[in-house]
Amino acid sequence: MIHVQGLTKHYADLRRGRFVALDGLSLHALPGQVYGLLGPNGAGKTTALRILSTVLKPSEGTAVVNGYDVVRQPSDVRRQIGFMSANTAIYDRMTAWEMVEYFGRLHGIQPGDLKQRMEALFQRLKMNDIRDVLGAKMSTGMRQKVSIARTIVHDPPVLIFDEATAGLDVLVARALLNTVAELRDQGKCIIFSTHIMREAEKLCDRVAIMHRGQILAEGTVDELRAHYEENDLEEIFFQLISHHDDLLAPVAVQDLV
């Protein structure tokens, strides 16, 4: 469903010279699977997801989403995906219903089909009590529900969640994770980036631990625990990050003599 091979993204930086945000990233995510991208801020997660959603173009490598190449067929890719992040905007002067309807129309859904789909979606996400609430008057939880609805209104086979629980309280974050799990059970292919290990342990079928644009380890949580002989995913995460940074650290002069 999602096949990424040797994905690289670099920028020219006046101070640092050539800055590499992604360094040969490869991954494969399947239908009915939540694939977690774990990593600290600056690991390259958002860069990778922006390439998959056609917002950015890669410097090298390939990415194919449901059979469509992100560089050669960006319009087709956009029809295959729903994208949600912690920064997904909600228009203050639109109601919840108007917002979801607007995005459904952008995706070309016919009015009759769209109304039927929205009725089912508002019922499923328990949004009927906020359908006439303006964005400016929505709580964080309400905004998050609307963001989910606009992400999935066109029923895409691939869903991308970029740090979607950042800044949410425990109850709203849990509701979002439950929704993601339900979508996975419906056969969606889901990429879920986070730096919260508990979310990954609870939700993800496979995880990739990223740092400085590279994948340091990849597999199921149980496979990683067995390989590194450590039950705590957070501890595995810290060990991998620390080891990688030690390898990249400059060698002191006294170590050379």
Q: Is the pLDDT of residue 225 over 70?
A: yes
Mean pLDDT, the chain, integer: 90
Query: What average pLDDT does range 23-36 have in this prediction?
Result: 96
Q: Which CATH superfamily is domain 2-249 in?
A: P-loop containing nucleotide triphosphate hydrolases (3.40.50.300)
Domain ranges (residues) in the chain: 2-249
Query: What average pLDDT does range 21-50 have in this prediction?
Result: 93
List the strands of the sheet with 68-69, edge to edge: 17-29, 2-13, 60-65, 68-69
Candidates 128, 136, 59, 133; CA nearest to 90 is: 136
Which of 9-13, 113-117, 215-219 is predicted least confidently? 9-13
The two tokens of residue 141 are: 């939880």
pLDDT cut 90: percent of the chain above it: 70
The half-sphere exposure of 53 on its side-chain side, counting CA atoms within 13 A, is 20
pLDDT at residue 60 in the model: 95
Contact 37, 92 (CB under 8 A): no
Q: Around Cβ 87, how many Cβ atoms within 10 Å?
A: 12
Which of 63-67, 92-96, 166-170, 208-212 is predicted least confidently? 166-170
pLDDT at residue 68 in the model: 97
pLDDT at residue 251 in the model: 41
* pLDDT band for position 12 (cuts 50, 70, 90): confident
Q: How far is CA 174 from CA 112, 165, 179, 200, in A?
A: 33, 9, 9, 13
List the strands of the sheet with 158-162, edge to edge: 81-85, 158-162, 189-194, 33-38, 206-211, 214-219
Q: Is the pLDDT of residue 152 over 50?
A: yes
- Tell me the per-residue pLDDT of 83-130, one tens digit each, with 9 for 90 and over: 998 777 889 999 999 999 999 999 999 999 999 999 999 998 889 999
The two tokens of residue 119 are: 């009725």
